[in-house]
Structure 1
């Protein structure tokens, strides 16, 4: 919303001054090994065996056939042991670390969806380059038909939508066989029109990790932990993220402070920055009022933010440091990424003071920073 507002204001500034079918739902992707028609390499039926042993002995005595039989059995045993050894080596190779991916993230720094992706990449220690996109001209992504951020380029393959990016990369990290181009086919695009007639794009299965049953069992050790993770990842996208704008643009003063931060951290020309800061702050203050009505928020939108954060902390409970247990899971990283964009603003300070989220937040922050390898 803020980016769209900034793009409009940027235009004003330039005029003002010279210048495979997959199932959805509750399922786990099964990877099956399909074999061709089987063939038995035995010694044949009883009649065949009797004919061999009843055949006339060859010159040299009756010891040739038994020797040949035991020689064949020995060779068969050798081949069996050899095949077993090769399979063990293949299994060891599949558990070996996979080569590093070349990752480039196109983003707005203050976008909560982009922040989610950065939190994931940082926590898993994936090295990546950042390309800050100008929200007015968006020249940095003019090569893409997809005109939103985040966009993540992975070895030349384009990934869109923050939740798809996270699910696809997590699948790649935990799967022993799948490639990124293969994984991305599990998240097909669905285009439709919203109530205003505008075309929108949604992605199927975007909260699912495409793992085999065995891989899922290793990752999700507790009963229902997978459903819990998916539920709260979706909650972060469908509810929590919509509380950010009404809170950071709650008053004219907060709106101005928010746009000062956006201009400082973003990629703007001097003219764009000037108009974005002052006209953008005024516009977003008015837009935040409309967002409050759209999402049925209270007059004091802080109360909705506090309630959402309290719901999150109640879901984690007192017996575990993260929703993922001893380590953050994808829901932890998503919620942390969304809340992080308010840092340095009054809404963030108020949230820390009036909820119990701070200790959890600092734990996730420390875990993400410990592994960060961004460039």
Structure 2
């Protein structure tokens, strides 16, 4: 029984261990994007190897939570560093990745505001979803809180802001829901997914056994419920293929990214969802049967060249 509990604890902790790597990669891209270029990510084969290893490790985060993408999880780390705030008010923690992206991007563009002040622009609101469950929503989570001059700098063409918000919402409301039904589509694929998690996560023998077999069975049945809930086709691959091609069509043939010459927040959101399938059959099928591969590889290069973020740069000066 103790071994079983240990296995379940490790399975539950897996996303939190791996998501920090995604958070760092994403913020690095945001920093580079805010300057209009990418900063080299180290030099030589060793640095590139570390970047590739970090990318592989990120995959496990979504599996253990049923495909929840997570390039970013919380602003807890930079906020924790400011211990004096904890004495004055309750600790702030954000769990919505879209809010986190918007807040960090706002901070990087508008250094006149503190991170705490920016977070306050995204107040949580309690709501009841279609299943009668109380959830926390952020009505303005796709907005950057910038003044007129800053907005003009980031969005020189007004339509680009609307387009970015539209596709960020699409990634949250539709694309993310295609992941679990696809990576756990069959018992064989579910087992392969958790085998990948165990291998990359370097579990112990007993912990790995429970994570692999118990997790695979659980997620196979959960994926069927998600398929029904989101009204997916019998062959869920078709929904994934269509979504990938819809995204490529929206970008068009005359720009490398939705953001133009550099990725914008919509590029980052879509890439963050899709990369959790790397190393799995669903990912290979998507690359083979859709037109998304060139864009995806351009995103890999952009993130690989982004500078590793220093959390000190995300903290306001004192």
Question: Normalised by the size of structure 2, how large is the TM-score?
Answer: 0.73
Larger helix proportion of the pair: 2
Q: CA deviation at 1:289?
A: 1.4
Partner of 1:154: 78
Alignment of 1:209-224 (within 5 A): 209-224=144-159
1:289 aligns with 2:224: yes
Q: In the alignment, is the contact (CA less than 8 A) between 2:184 and 2:193 conserved in 1? A: yes
Which structure has more relative contact order (CA 8 Å, sep 6+)? It is 2
Q: CA deviation at 1:363?
A: 0.6
Q: In the alignment, is the contact (CA less than 8 A) between 2:103 and 2:144 conserved in 1? A: yes
Larger strand proportion of the pair: 1
Q: CA deviation at 1:263?
A: 2.5
Q: In the alignment, is the contact (CA less than 8 A) between 2:164 and 2:266 conserved in 1? A: yes
Partner of 1:231: 166
Instruction: Indicate which of 252, 258, 261 corresponds to 2:187.
Output: 252
Q: In the alignment, is the contact (CA less than 8 A) between 1:259 and 1:281 conserved in 2? A: yes
Partner of 1:365: 300
Q: Measure the CA separation in 2 of the matches of 1:325 and 1:16.
A: 45
Q: CA deviation at 1:198?
A: 3.7
Partner of 1:3: none
Q: Measure the CA separation in 2 of the matches of 1:199 and 1:268.
A: 35
Q: Measure the CA separation in 2 of the matches of 1:365 and 1:372.
A: 13
Q: In the alignment, is the contact (CA less than 8 A) between 2:248 and 2:292 conserved in 1? A: yes
1:319 aligns with 2:254: yes
Describe the SS at the equivalent of 1:224.
helix
Partner of 1:208: 143
Q: Measure the CA separation in 2 of the matches of 1:164 and 1:227.
A: 17
Unaligned stretches of 5+ in structure 1?
1-9, 18-105, 136-148
Q: CA deviation at 1:122?
A: 2.9
Describe the SS at the equivalent of 1:298.
coil
Q: 1:221 to 1:351 in 2, by over 3 A?
A: same
Q: In the alignment, is the contact (CA less than 8 A) between 1:116 and 1:334 conserved in 2? A: no
Q: In the alignment, is the contact (CA less than 8 A) between 1:121 and 1:372 conserved in 2? A: no
Instruction: Indicate which of 273, 276, 279 corresponds to 1:344.
Output: 279
- RMSD over aligned Cα atoms: 3.2
Question: Normalised by the size of structure 1, how large is the TM-score?
Answer: 0.62
Q: In the alignment, is the contact (CA less than 8 A) between 2:25 and 2:308 conserved in 1? A: no
Task: Please identify, of 307-316 and 150-159, the stretch whose mean Cα deviation from structure 2 is larger.
Answer: 150-159
Q: CA deviation at 1:151?
A: 2.0
1:13 aligns with 2:4: yes
Q: Measure the CA separation in 2 of the matches of 1:16 and 1:265.
A: 16
Q: CA deviation at 1:16?
A: 10
Q: In the alignment, is the contact (CA less than 8 A) between 1:116 and 1:336 conserved in 2? A: no
Q: Measure the CA separation in 2 of the matches of 1:225 and 1:233.
A: 12
Q: CA deviation at 1:176?
A: 3.6
Partner of 1:122: 28
Q: CA deviation at 1:166?
A: 0.6
Q: In the alignment, is the contact (CA less than 8 A) between 2:7 and 2:208 conserved in 1? A: no
Higher-Rg structure is 1
1:188 aligns with 2:123: yes
Q: In the alignment, is the contact (CA less than 8 A) between 1:240 and 1:338 conserved in 2? A: yes
Q: 1:288 to 1:163 in 2, by over 3 A?
A: same
Partner of 2:291: 356
Q: In the alignment, is the contact (CA less than 8 A) between 1:122 and 1:369 conserved in 2? A: no
Q: CA deviation at 1:256?
A: 0.4
Task: Please identify, of 253-262 and 196-205, the stretch whose mean Cα deviation from structure 2 is larger.
Answer: 196-205
Unaligned stretches of 5+ in structure 2?
9-14, 33-40, 42-53, 63-71, 81-91, 311-318
